[in-house]
Amino acid sequence: MKVLEKDKYDFVETRDELLNSKSNKIWGSFAPSALAYDLDRKTTKPSEPTLAEMTNKALKTLKKDKDGFFLFVEGSKIDWAAHGNDTIGMISDTLSFDDAVNEALKFAKNDGNTMVIAVTDHGNSGITMGNVNTNSSYPETPVSAYIDPLKKAKMTVEGALSKLKPDHSNLKEVAALYGLDDLTSEESAKLTSSKNIGAEMTKMLANRANIGFTTGGHTGKTFSYTLMALQNRLD
Ligand SMILES: [Zn+2]
């Protein structure tokens, strides 16, 4: 903090503070650890800026430098969602990253002298459209069978679980927030007795949407192509 003050950074902690800052040196710190997933932010952390807002503000601020600039933007929680096999978190923050890239592209188009590079640094989770449910039926399975179950989700699994009461009395509502609004009695019992409710919920939603995962760890880059396909179909 002393260093930031000494070097005359404007230290901002909320979306409004960031957007209103007129400084040409800004240090934003919007959460004690990770920011909320894009899909959850309005409900759980409305004072946090979006990745696109941060990108836009960074561009507006850095462009004041006559020598040019280098800006690095990361959509970082796509990786965390993938580790948790949370399809909704992955889509949420891939779309959020896409919005940020759009800000950069708009700037570059206007500026005419800026290069934008958007890449994935690694794959994660081995996500696939199509899983053991569709071993022999993939060609006949309509797109809606993959997309409609996902569209029911209002929050990521992290966001939904943040609403879970300590006594778990609202478990049914929490599951519905994650798109699991039609639990069978077996699934209800499984969730009630589970020590890792989030892991069970992500498995149940993936099963409904015929989404497969091969791992909770890193992989090659195929995952980003699946996400792009899912995203195009959600649009
Ligand atoms: Zn990772």
What are 158-170's pLDDT values in tens digits? 999 999 999 999 9
How sure is the predictor about 197, in pLDDT bands with cuts at 50, 70 and 90?
A: very high
Mean pLDDT of the chain: 94
Q: What is the mean pLDDT of residues 21-27?
A: 96
3-state SS string for the chain: CHHHHHCCCEEECCHHHHHHCCCCCEEECCCCCCCCCHHHHHHHCCCCCCHHHHHHHHHHHHCCCCCCCCCCCCCCHHHHHHHCCCHHHHHHHHHHHHHHHHHHHHHHHHHCCCCCCCCCCCEECCCEECCHHHCCCHHHCCCHHHHHHHHCCCCCHHHHHCCCCCCCCCHHHHHHHCCCCCCCHHHHHHHHHCCCHHHHHHHHHHHHCCEECCCCCEECCHHHHHHHHHHHHHC
Residues 198 and 222 in one domain: no
Residue 81 CA to ligand 1 centre (angstroms):
9
Residues 206 and 157 in one domain: yes
Q: Which domain holds residue 179?
A: 128-212
The answer to whether residue 223 scores a pLDDT higher than 60 is no
Residues with CB under 5 A from ligand 1 (ion): 79
Residue 80 CA to ligand 1 centre (angstroms):
6
Is the model's pTM score more than 0.85? yes
The answer to whether residue 225 scores a pLDDT higher than 90 is no
Residues 204 and 113 in one domain: no
Residues 34 and 107 in one domain: yes
The answer to whether residue 226 scores a pLDDT higher than 90 is no
Q: What is the CATH number of the domain that holds 8?
A: 3.40.720.10
Residues 70 and 172 in one domain: no
Residues 81 and 136 in one domain: no
Residue 120 CA to ligand 1 centre (angstroms):
12
How sure is the predictor about 221, in pLDDT bands with cuts at 50, 70 and 90?
A: low
Residues 139 and 93 in one domain: no
Residue whose pair of structure tokens reads 């892991």 in the numeric block? 199
Residue 124 CA to ligand 1 centre (angstroms):
7
The answer to whether residue 35 scores a pLDDT higher than 80 is yes
pLDDT of 1: 86
Residues 99 and 139 in one domain: no
Number of domains the chain is built from: 2
Residues 171 and 208 in one domain: yes
Residues 9 and 78 in one domain: yes
Residues 118 and 200 in one domain: no
The answer to whether residue 34 scores a pLDDT higher than 80 is yes
